[in-house]
Structure 1
Amino acid sequence: MQRTLKFVKHLPGFGVECTVLTVDPEQGAYPVLDESLAAEIPAGVRVIRTSTSEPFGSYKKLTGRQQIPYGGFANESKTSLQQQFFKFVRGNLFIPDPRRGWNAHVLRAVANLIDQEGEIFDAVLTSSPPHSTQLIGLALKQRYGLRWLADMRDPWTDIYYTKELNKTQLARWLDARYERQVLEQADEVLVTSPDTKRLFLGKSPALAAGKFHVIPNGYDDSDFREPSAPPPHALLITHTGTISETYHIEQFLRACAECARRHPEVPLRLRFVGHVSAGVQQQLAAAGLTDRTELIPFVPHDESVRYLLRATVLLMAIPDVDHNFGILPGKVFEYLAANKPIICIGPVGSDADNLLQECGAGHSYAYDAYDTMLEYLEELTRQWQQNANLDLPALNHTMYSRRALTQQLVKLIVK
């Protein structure tokens, strides 16, 4: 949860005293954990870790899996009958999501702070997904009249994987009802992209555009203190984060293979840092790129940043799903901070495409734009032969620093 962590890191610098309520890591279940990020919590910030009630322990026992699924099941390539059953249970018995069991624990902790200890809070910020967290804000608004900022990092009922959950009509109605209640009763709604703002605004005629604020994800200057170090002996294209078949990078991989065939004198290499689905690994093999590709499993955030700085070019992909024009991954801002050329595979004209062009870092290629991708890769090989360092001039991205974005949040907190 880097977005919330970075807000908490910078809010004290603007005179905002924070209390954070989160889950006891011994009781919560997560696909991955990055303990290194805990070092960024300011010493003066009070962190209260509560118990939780989640079904994920039972899920692992029943399925025999060591890892729980991501929200969109991106770490589960094949769908068995068993998985279909669990998706149905997830979509119809856990509304809005299985994390809702945490809410009662949080509400008790807040009641203790306010009713027993006499704490006074000026505002509450709830960040999601999981969108069940927004129901905590709704309850606190109704119970204490606190000013409430709902931070919606992703769509809710329109999230791309909702179709896979096989929801009944009743489940869809209840989920949409929760969504409307949150959007209508929150004092301010924060979103990460313009298209997501448009999506939420259409949920109710009672919603006013003025309560919606686009505060995108960003990058932290302190994460980029090390110098850029692109490899001198390879044209290295790096992707960080999870990637699966839904990202449709097949044509890009074909273009890489053809570029390498046409220019054997240029050592073209690929590096994926993070979870790479079995399907994408098969695509790499089919393109003949296995020997040119390095797969590195999950690494802590600071190490992930180092991989960005050690790349020649950065690869980003937007999943080929509904409402993907508003998908603006948090990592794109760290890509920008690395000052490397960025190749984005995804919808042309999307929020991500517009951001890259606005900052002069690159642009998007449609999933099937093989010829255009190959043309650009060949241009990069020509540039690399002249100079192995393809770093861009200082990009215009300072407005996306975490501190600048936190300053925008402060204005809403004290509004």
Structure 2
Amino acid sequence: MRVLIITYYWPPAGGSGVQRWLKFVKYLRDFEIEPIVYTVENPKYPILDESLQKDIPKGVEVLKQPIFEPNNLLSFFGNKKTESAGFLNPNPSFFGKLLQYIRANYFIPDARKFWINPSVNYLKSYISNNNIDSIITTGPPHSMHLIGLKLKQQLGVKWIADFRDPWTEIDYFHQLPLSKKTINKHHFLEQEVLLNADKVLVVGSTMNKNYTKFNNNVVTITNGFDGEIITSETKLDSKFTITHIGLMNADRNPKMLWNVLTEIISENKDFSEDFILKLIGKVDSSVIEEIATNKLNKNVEIIDYVSHNNVIEFQKKSQVLLLLLNNVPSAKGIITGKIFEYLMVNRPILAVAPLDGDLAEILNKINAGKVISFEDKVSLKSTILEMYSKYKQGNLRIDSKNVEQFHRKELTKKLAEIIKNTVMSVKAEIN
């Protein structure tokens, strides 16, 4: 069975966007499915990680076509903040505001829209001549889904739409300077994708519930980890390290955490000497300013982006792993990819997130850590002190259960069943 995967993110892209389908492709052959990848020839990825190339299975066909990205022009004019929606400039200049408005209202659904028609023209011929059983599109960017929509409409090919993040419910959607007409256009396109896809894949229960309103064939396949679960004792950091991996933007700036840490440090000399907070990845200037305001610089270590392999090493050694969700209206449905990488190394997780959200559901189900709500300063302080006390006693650990269900190979097994069922349904219709 041959499946064509349409994705913008592919090695050497780094970051979370590439992981999901790189790992699916890695294991699909184990379940008698041959993946073919269609991606961009000349992308402008904000993060590169050459080490991920090794996960591409030998002999997998990767089709590439050039793309025109207007973001290149915007960055030429000095609007580098627009390159990643997670780093939208909260205080842009007049010119910056104008560029943000143009990007938000003229590049719908996103700045990769100019790749849609050339891709459809190229793939129509390829699909017709190469016995493709189904196609899969993965977004964001959601222009990938519009490629799938047009191929579905023109060829009748079986189509699975995978949402790594929601479309109009994504955490930064409310920050974009969108006109009412543009908002309506986004909702219309999102619903067109949902109504026409044969199957819809999502990463969490909140998205599943929201999308089931438009499609009865919505299936949840979470993200996961790839590697052996670390059960043996590993050499931990000698300091009481709390480590955060990944993007920390303005929405994820945990002011409550900075206040709590400042209080504990001022009240507990031993904690002040033992404690190190490691921030690994891109950190917004507002976060750095908040750390300085709270006089936490001597206890904070900021490390720029490192390769995926090195990230695992940091996680293995850390006493506690920190997980911060964006304090936005859609927070209940956010499940960051890093949570599953955290699970693999079997260290206590401290999360600041909605108590009734998808993330809390996962952590509580497998007993992997503690979730604190955005405004609960008392619980956050007591939890950190409790973890520190266990660290001093030498027994800071967790006893997670059924973590194996989130291994990438197990998740790919579920995906393979969905692909086969989708393809077999069309064959049954023909017969």
How does the TM-score come out when normalised to structure 2? 0.89
Question: Is 1:177 aligned with 2:202?
Answer: no
CA-to-aligned-CA distance 1:315-340 (integer Å, 9 cap, x gap): 00010112110100010011111111
Q: Which runs of 4+ in 1 moved over 6 A?
A: 223-227
Determine if contact 2:27/2:412 at 8 Å carries over to the other structure: yes
- Asked if the contact 2:250/2:284 (under 8 Å) is kept, the reply is yes
Q: Which moved more, 1:165-174 or 1:328-337?
A: 165-174
CA distance in 1, matches of 2:209, 2:101: 29
- CA contact 2:43–2:67 (8 Å) conserved in 1: yes
Out of 67, 86, 96, the residue aligned to residue 83 of structure 1 is 96
Q: Deviations over 1:340-373 (max 9, x none)?
A: 1111112111110111111111132122211111
Deviation at 1:143, TM superposition (A): 1.9
Cα distance, 1:53 vs structure 2: 1.2
Report the count of equivalent residues. 402
**Cα displacement (A) at 1:30:** 2.0
Q: CA 1:127–1:300 in structure 2 vs 1: closer, same or farther (change >3 Å)?
A: same
Matched, 1:360 2:371: no
Q: 2:313, 2:91 → 1: CA distance?
A: 32
Q: Is residue 2:141 matched to residue 1:127?
A: no
Alignment match, 2:221: 215
Q: Give the percent of matched residue pairs that are identical in Structure 1 and Structure 2.
A: 30
Give the deviation of 1:225 after TM superposition: 10
Match of 1:155 in 2: 166
**Out of 363, 368, 376, which is 1:369 matched to?**
376
Give 1:70's aligned amino acid. Answer: S
Going from structure 1 to structure 2, the CA distance change for 1:299 and 1:224 (only over 3 Å counts) comes to farther
CA contact (8 A) 1:354 1:363 kept: no
Q: Distance in 2 between matches of 1:85 and 1:226?
A: 55
**2:118 maps to which residue?**
105
1:390 to partner: Cα distance: 2.3
Q: Is residue 144 of structure 1 aligned with residue 155 of structure 2?
A: yes
User: Please, which of 264, 269, 276 is the counterpart of residue 264 of structure 1?
Assistant: 269
Residues 1:73 and 2:90 aligned together? no
The CA deviation at 1:64 is: 6.1
Aligned mates of 1:227, 1:144 — CA distance in 2: 55
What residue is the counterpart of 1:29 in the other structure?
A: 44
Q: Do structure 1's residue 16 and structure 2's residue 33 form an aligned pair?
A: yes
Instruction: Specify the SS of the correspondent of 1:101.
Output: helix
Distance 1:377 1:157 in 2: 35
The answer (yes or no) to whether the contact 2:253–2:286 under 8 Å persists in 1 is: no
Alignment match, 2:390? 383
Provide closer, same or farther for how the CA distance between residues 63 and 316 of structure 1 changes in structure 2, counting only shifts above 3 A: same
Note the alpha carbon deviations across 1:242-274, whole angstroms, 9 max, x for none: 012212411112222222333322401100000
Cα distance in 2, alignment partners of residues 351 and 42 from structure 1: 32
Q: In structure 2, do the counterparts of structure 1 residues 381 and 169 end up closer, same or farther at CA, with 3 Å as the change threshold?
A: closer
Gaps of 5+ in 1: none
Contact 2:278 2:301 in 1 (8 A): yes
Kept in 2: contact 1:87–1:164 (CA 8 A): no
| 1:25-55 CA distance string (max 9 Å, x none) | xx21122122211110000211112100110
- Say whether 1:334 aligns with 2:351: no
Task: Give yes or no for contact 2:149–2:197 (8 Å, CA) kept in 1.
Answer: yes
What is the CA–CA distance in structure 2 between the aligned matches of 1:228 and 1:94, rounded to whole Å? 49
Partner Cα distance (1:355, 1:195) in 2: 12
Question: 2:14 corresponds to which residue?
Answer: none
Matches of 1:242 and 1:54, distance apart in 2: 23
Unaligned runs of 5+ in 2: 1-17, 422-431
Deviation string 1:205-257 (CA, Å, 9 cap, x unpaired) is xx32xx0001011111259699733112x100000000122124111122222
Alignment check: 8 A CA contact 1:195 1:326 kept: yes
